[in-house]
Amino acid sequence: MTHSLTLRERGRIHDKLLGTRLNTVVPKIMERAGIDCWVLVAREYNEDPVVATMLPATWLNARRRTILVFTDFGRERIAIARYAVGEAFPPGWLAEEQPDQWRRVAEYLEEADPQRIALNLSATFALADGLAASDHAALLEALPAHLQQRIVLRHELALGWLETRTPEEMELYPEVCRRAHTILRRALSPEVIEAGVTTTEDVEWWLRQTVADAGYGTWFHPTVSVQRQLDGPAPESFVSRPAGATIDPGDLVHIDFGIVYLDLHTDQQQHGYVLEEGESDAPAGLQAGLAAANRVQDLLLAEFQTGRTGNEILAATLRHCAEEGLDAAIYTHPIGLHGHAAGPTIGLWDQQGGVAGGGDYPVHPDTAYSIELSATTPVTEWDGQVVRFMLEEEAFFDGQNIAFLDGRQTEIWLI
């Protein structure tokens, strides 16, 4: 994949990957959860986030009311909708025979006779909470009492579907990360940054424009900021965006940036240093700070185990960091079909003691994560001023091992 694929080529890849995911991932997660039926409902412009990832490439959104039903632990699937949903979901409703769509759902479920019917409702996980209140009420009204009693509100199916990466996706994901890295590296170079002239906002919009020109998508506006000597301590809050600033010699430049390509998301953070006159390298204290952040990455990756919760991984990593004298913060999240994706939350920047709900979800095999964290260290050359080194890279966990998809930054880029 050396060029940006056409939309038609991407559409073919999308539908091929989707077919594989429906045939393999859905049965696996339904068997794992012990749920033999899954009903998903979406309406045009109000798509359940799970349904949105199950639509063919030619469907940019749901049509009218789209109801997808999986039975027999995902081995059977059907669209109870006015249209077939691509080739993956054959039509299961003829309005001429049964004018009421909800009654047709009830008829179909009576015939299938499932024992447990899962719906996408969750107070904890937004991505598993896609069933609108009005659709929920209409479904319950249409179902007979004995089927209503079989409904279970479980998040495992929605999260399992979204978080699980297939071998076919993992053939593509490293290349997607590589493309994002290439743009990020260009941004942290003299090609884009002219000391004393270029502003952080200039770099942010260069990133946005370059992504658009390459034909990729974006899921958040990039953040570019600087830390510099005598400019106060490292920022303590992630609540507001940093103010725009001109990038000067001696600045440590940080970028948080991501793209979307072939439905896969990236989220990366790296640093560059603007050389002052007479310098040939970044100060040793800055280099040591980056090395400390790399060590935090190592300690975090070492804690990944199937079945461990995000909170358990967070606590163990922070304990080991403290033992090594590292002032660390961890705020790692799953990534894949979304940026802040489905799966366990491994810390939030303002919740280093654990995250109720999201942090209690366990790690599963075949899942990807943005390894996002920071190490805060004093820099001798800056008179002991504290600097925060914020890093983020994609990694894949196969159930036994976890590794970065396209490497990581281990040296500060020089500008």
Q: What is the pTM of this model?
A: 0.94
Among 161, 196, 216, residue at a domain's last position: 161
DSSP-H helix ranges across 113-214 = 133-142, 145-148, 156-163, 167-187, 200-214
The pLDDT assigned to 60 comes to 87
Asked whether residue 383 is assigned to any structural domain, the reply reads yes
Q: Which residues, including other chains, have CB under 8 Å from residue 253's CB and lie 6 or more apart?
A: 188, 193, 200, 203, 224, 225, 226, 247, 271, 272, 273, 274, 415
- The verdict on 23 and 69 lying in the same domain is yes
Give the C-alpha separation, 357 to 273, whole Å. 39
Q: How far is CA 97 from the centre of its chain?
A: 43
- The verdict on 242 and 373 lying in the same domain is yes
Give the C-alpha separation, 275 to 203, whole Å. 18
Asked whether residue 250 is assigned to any structural domain, the reply reads yes
Give the C-alpha separation, 369 to 346, whole Å. 10
- The verdict on 75 and 197 lying in the same domain is no
Among 136, 161, 186, residue at a domain's last position: 161
Among 120, 135, 161, residue at a domain's last position: 161
DSSP-H helix ranges across 253-283 = none
Give the C-alpha separation, 179 to 287, whole Å. 25
- The verdict on 289 and 376 lying in the same domain is yes
Asked whether residue 59 is assigned to any structural domain, the reply reads yes
- The verdict on 110 and 186 lying in the same domain is no
H or E element, residue 286: helix 284-301
Rg of the chain on CA atoms, in Å: 24
- Please state the length of the chain: 415
Could you tell me the residue range of the domain that residue 335 belongs to? 166-414
Give the C-alpha separation, 342 to 27, whole Å. 18
Q: Using the 8-state DSSP alphabet, how is residue 234 labeled?
A: P
- What is the per-residue DSSP string for 330-399? E-BEE-SSSSS-SS--B-BTTBTT--TTGGGSBP-SSEEEEEEEEEEEEEGGGTTEEEEEEEEEEEEE-S
Give the C-alpha separation, 259 to 213, whole Å. 12
Q: Tell me how crowded residue 215 is: count the other CB atoms within 10 A of its CB.
A: 13
Asked whether residue 193 is assigned to any structural domain, the reply reads yes
Give the C-alpha separation, 150 to 148, whole Å. 5
- The verdict on 126 and 176 lying in the same domain is no
- The verdict on 400 and 292 lying in the same domain is yes
- The verdict on 115 and 255 lying in the same domain is no
- The verdict on 80 and 214 lying in the same domain is no
- The verdict on 177 and 279 lying in the same domain is yes
Asked whether residue 388 is assigned to any structural domain, the reply reads yes
Give the C-alpha separation, 371 to 298, whole Å. 10
Give the C-alpha separation, 203 to 269, whole Å. 14
Asked whether residue 1 is assigned to any structural domain, the reply reads no
- What is the per-residue DSSP string for 107-137? HHHHHH--S-EEE---SS-GGG--S-HHHHH
The pLDDT assigned to 235 comes to 61
The pLDDT assigned to 233 comes to 59
Find where tokens 């045009």 sit: 44
- The verdict on 90 and 177 lying in the same domain is no
Give the C-alpha separation, 366 to 166, whole Å. 7
Would you say 29 and 161 are in contact if contact means Cβ atoms under 8 Å apart?
Answer: yes
pLDDT along the chain (415 residues), means of 10: 82 94 97 96 94 92 92 95 88 90 96 96 96 96 96 94 98 98 98 97 97 96 94 61 86 97 97 96 97 98 98 98 98 98 96 96 98 97 95 98 98 97
Find where tokens 């003299």 sit: 190
In angstroms, what CA-CA distances link 187 with 112, 137, 275, 390, 408? 56, 50, 15, 17, 16
Would you say 406 and 178 are in contact if contact means Cβ atoms under 8 Å apart?
Answer: yes
Q: Using the 8-state DSSP alphabet, how is residue 73 labeled?
A: T
CATH code of the domain containing 237:
3.90.230.10
Q: Which residues, including other chains, have CB under 8 Å from residue 209's CB and lie 6 or more apart?
A: none
Give the C-alpha separation, 397 to 401, whole Å. 6
- The verdict on 146 and 279 lying in the same domain is no
Find where tokens 């073919």 sit: 12
Give the C-alpha separation, 171 to 175, whole Å. 8
Total domains in the chain come to 2
CATH code of the domain containing 64:
3.40.350.10
Backbone angles phi, psi at 91, to 5 degrees: -70, 140
Asked whether residue 2 is assigned to any structural domain, the reply reads no
Would you say 133 and 167 are in contact if contact means Cβ atoms under 8 Å apart?
Answer: no
The pLDDT assigned to 154 comes to 85
